[in-house]
Amino acid sequence: MRPVERGPAPRTYAKYGDAIEDLEARLDIYCSYCERRLPTSLAVEHVVPKDLSPRLETEWTNFLLGCTNCNSVKGAKPVDVSDFLWPDRDNTFLAFTYVKGGFVSLADNLSETQKVQAQALLDLVELQRHKAPGWGNPAPRDKRWQQRDEVWAAAERSLELLEKLGGVDEAVEQILIAAKGYGFFSIWMTIFNDYPDVKKGLIQRFIGTASTCFDPDGNPLNRLGGNI
């Protein structure tokens, strides 16, 4: 899951919905949880549900961007922030592993506490749900797993091309354009793990990626002040 940096509040909001354009300008047009690209249908997502904490309803630091699936699954489930990892507080890229076929699971090498917090975040938005047996049963309209599968395949094809062309700049540029168009930052970062130029480009081009979560070669680092 892409770690993000929303920055200081651009202004105050009378209604939370008024923040959508500022959020998209800061975090780009991707769901903060599942990473899919949605140019027109993202919603302001409240980390702590607005129904449970009206005080945080219009609070910038409580906002992320959510798609219909992540938003509706998360709903008004009670959230004690310290029980979870969060893309705006932690380096959530270190917390999860994306693999071929559209699967998401906990990363290896997490501490016991991190495992519990990472699993809590996965469960909160049911991100790991997949049609394969044993992976929960996604709702009929929940195609996040399928999109991950498709984008994984597209990214793999791009990798083959890059290897064939020997890593030339034009190919890197084309890959960055494709990645922005498809979304799913973490899948591209995973597939191009051996290509620092691609990783650096992804971190820069996906607006709002927390650059302090990565070293100059695009390798993930623990986030300062975060749980991971």
Q: Which residues bind Zn ion (CB under 5 A)?
A: 31, 33-34, 67, 70
Residue whose tokens read 């994306």: 98
- Among residues 13 and 33, whose Cβ is nearest to Zn ion? 33
- Among residues 1 and 171, whose Cβ is nearest to Zn ion? 1
- Among residues 48 and 221, whose Cβ is nearest to Zn ion? 48
Q: Minimum CB separation from Zn ion for residue 92, in Å? A: 13
Q: Minimum CB separation from Zn ion for residue 70, in Å? A: 3
- Among residues 33 and 195, whose Cβ is nearest to Zn ion? 33
Other C-beta atoms within 10 Å of 20: how many? Answer: 15
CA pair distance 199, 204, nearest whole angstrom: 9
Q: What is the DSSP letter of 65?
A: E
Q: Minimum CB separation from Zn ion for residue 116, in Å? A: 22
Q: Minimum CB separation from Zn ion for residue 19, in Å? A: 18
Residue whose tokens read 């449970």: 52
CA angle 159, 1, 191 (to 5 degrees): 10
Q: What is the DSSP letter of 150?
A: H
